[in-house]
A = this chain, B = another copy of it.
Amino acid sequence: MSKQHYKAASYKSQSSIGYLVKRAHSLTLDVLEPVIEQHGFSFIQYVILATLRDGIAVNPKVICSQYRHDSGALTRVIDQLAERGLLERVRRDRDRRKVELQLTPAGRQTIESLIPQVVDKMNEVLADFSKPEFQELLRLLIKLNTTLQAHVEPSVAGLEQA
């Protein structure tokens, strides 16, 4: 039987993980979007560039899974970034169904100039957090993601780097 973190009788939405996470997500966007849009990019565009920079993924499919973004929607974001000359689609002979995304020099320059601004903003926001608090928040969020992932339909869950 599962632990009873919540009880139906005493449950209040205010202390719901779902509520808190949804709100934190929206607020984070509110804080970061102005920083990024100031430079002519949408948040999702920034995310794709950052994902490529950090080597999290190079395939649209993997990006979709990692970031939980719709495949069709992602295609259009990639189109936008490709049109602006920030990345390129490369077909590898190894598996011609897959596309490998590569930052162009311009794209790398762009994301490298954006990162410090986002970092500064996040440090500013997190100034009230002690080092241990911050580390523990990261650890618990990662653990939360892992456990959530395990409870999603296996069809959606499975995925490995290509």
- Interface positions of A (Cβ within 8 A of B): 2-8, 11-32, 34, 47, 50-51, 53-54, 56, 66-68, 115-116, 118-120, 122-129, 131, 133-134, 136-138, 140-145, 147-149, 151-153, 156
Is there contact, CB below 8 Å, between B124 and A5? no
Are A144 and B24 within 8 A (Cβ)?
A: yes
Report which of B56, B119, B131, B156 forms a contact with A11, defined as CB distance below 8 A: B119
Asked whether, in the complex, the Cβ of A131 is within 8 Å of the Cβ of B24, the reply is no
Given A28-B22, A54-B13, A115-B8: A148 touches B125 (CB 8 Å cut-off): yes
Q: How far is the CA of A133 from the CA of B146 in the complex (A)?
A: 15
Knowing that A15-B138, A21-B28 are A-B contacts, what are 11 other residue pairs whose CB atoms are under 8 Å apart, sorted by A's residue number? A2-B126, A3-B129, A5-B126, A6-B119, A20-B141, A21-B141, A23-B68, A27-B149, A30-B68, A128-B143, A140-B140
